[in-house]
Structure 1
């Protein structure tokens, strides 16, 4: 009988639960984009309904579920699996997530940050298989980060160590001289869409306004990409502004830690070279000479499966999480 594992992704706009094997192979995935009027409680209710569905599939796949792991979109205390906060979803303040998972589903559980889970996925299943020192980051609803030094996750003092989206860069959105803001506010999917949806921000002549039917509230990151690929001047300038801002933060990461490989995942990164070529160009311009020419920036190969596959893999290899924790 094969050992099976459950991976969970807890996000702001998407929840996932998957049944898989110790090598990260996904056998069955359940995805939900659910309204969260009660915040964390709605996510817990969804998990309470969906994880048992996966448990009932044990016989179908000829195995037994041994444990589970959850990639959580927010700050956690690594040693206890307690969530400290979620920037986007209320109700996760000081919540004993690992204890809740173990009690609810009667099996051992691990909890790690969702970007860290995605990083493990890339390190063992994707781009990072041959790399020693890796920085994984995602540009999705938010922006996160994870360091792997000599292929060991670096957890700092036990609360995560690479909340990249919460580092500060110049804020060109503000009229105030010298204004600063978080990378996430400018470059994340939610930040981009919030800006594009401001009345009057997108020019009336932009192809984006045609795509949204003249209703800014309906503008999406996908529309920005499609308009840019069609040669729309405003859309191209906006992608360029995003890349320049992101590169300021990324060049600081490179200068401080000098990873040989930077892997970028998340929904916004699906723009591919339209965005990433600009990120490569601008990062190389301002990265310190010690790391220039000694790193590569690559798009994630795991993409939508990164967090969930990483969670399944970590459920089967919990020692990887503990090795990096205090």
Structure 2
């Protein structure tokens, strides 16, 4: 049995399983960003025994721990490089800390990379290689799996698609991540009546979730405009990635994947197809992720199984 941990910017999850796509038990909590890394670590200290108790297990039943962390990590040192969302993680020895807490061998990696491993192994990319995974939510991350192995460049990560520069030179996250969509919407609310009306309707500054909700409402002009811009930017970034890597499948997860085919996936497929490099046309399909909110836990468990045995 293995323990998987997801440490995100807004979410903390722990799960038990064998890395075979099935969870035995799950613990889920919210992250209080103001408490920083120390606060999250205190939550983990409390959550581990609670999770084991709920499953009727003890530490002696576990073989190892895998961690998916919401930020860049170093494969060699097994340390966090930094978190873009929560303070208190810079150069933190996370694998050593978890190993000391649990008494178990521990391996860590970036959350988008382990999510890619999960979808390639147990989800929408099963049996296909290369598999490119993209998560679109508060931020935008990417992961590449080739023949069942994560591609991590020189050991600090790779395929950071959210930081590709698109359109007029800003990064993809500025157009299509939750923070970027919200920042643009609130700027436009000062001069564009579509966004001003939406901000008046919610009675405060707009969030990415407000825009997504508006986009799902038929006829809302601000939501439609924001979604069209996000789709254009994502399609441009995916087009660049496909020209370089030509994966067999692109799997997209995160909150955006819940918008469905009509609003998100079909318009995105049309945009990517229209700008395809002709020799590669039709070789890469684009589908929603299959593993839902537990994808990083499944990936952390799969990582532990690969590297530590299960």
Q: TM-score, normalised by structure 1?
A: 0.86
CA separation of 1:161 and 1:220: change in aligned 2, threshold 3 A: closer
In the aligned structure 2, how far is the partner of 1:227 from the partner of 1:167? 24
Partner of 1:272: 260
In the aligned structure 2, how far is the partner of 1:223 from the partner of 1:184? 15
**Unaligned ranges ≥5, structure 2:** none
In the aligned structure 2, how far is the partner of 1:186 from the partner of 1:309? 29
Partner of 2:28: 31
Instruction: Give 1:207 shift.
Output: 10
Partner of 1:176: none
Using the TM superposition, name which of 69-78 and 270-279 deviates more: 270-279
The answer to whether the Cα contact below 8 Å between 1:208 and 1:219 also exists between their aligned partners in 2 is no
Using the TM superposition, name which of 101-110 and 278-287 deviates more: 278-287
CA separation of 1:52 and 1:244: change in aligned 2, threshold 3 A: same
Secondary structure of the 2:126 match is: helix
CA separation of 1:235 and 1:256: change in aligned 2, threshold 3 A: same
In the aligned structure 1, how far is the partner of 2:219 from the partner of 2:155? 46
Instruction: Give 1:128 shift.
Output: 1.0
Q: C-alpha deviations, 1:136-190, integer Å up to 9, x for none? A: 110021111111123322111111111111121124xxxxxxxx21111221122
Write the mapping of 1:1-326 to structure 2, written as runs, cut at 5 A. 4-59=1-56, 64-171=61-168, 180-198=169-187, 200=189, 204=193, 209=198, 213-217=201-205, 219-221=207-209, 223-273=211-261, 274-318=263-307
State the Cα RMSD in Å. Answer: 2.5
Instruction: Give 1:214 shift.
Output: 3.8
Secondary structure of the 1:144 match is: strand
The answer to whether the Cα contact below 8 Å between 1:197 and 1:216 also exists between their aligned partners in 2 is no
In the aligned structure 2, how far is the partner of 1:119 from the partner of 1:205? 37
Instruction: Give 1:253 shift.
Output: 0.4
The answer to whether the Cα contact below 8 Å between 1:143 and 1:164 also exists between their aligned partners in 2 is yes
In the aligned structure 2, how far is the partner of 1:227 from the partner of 1:288? 30
How many residues align? The count is: 308
Q: C-alpha deviations, 1:165-221, integer Å up to 9, x for none? A: 1121124xxxxxxxx2111122112222333344716955679728x7442425442
In the aligned structure 1, how far is the partner of 2:181 from the partner of 2:138? 9
**Unaligned ranges ≥5, structure 1:** 172-179, 321-326
The answer to whether the Cα contact below 8 Å between 2:198 and 2:222 also exists between their aligned partners in 1 is no
In the aligned structure 1, how far is the partner of 2:30 from the partner of 2:45? 15
Q: C-alpha deviations, 1:3-39, integer Å up to 9, x for none? A: x211111111111111223313112222112322142
Using the TM superposition, name which of 64-73 and 250-259 deviates more: 64-73
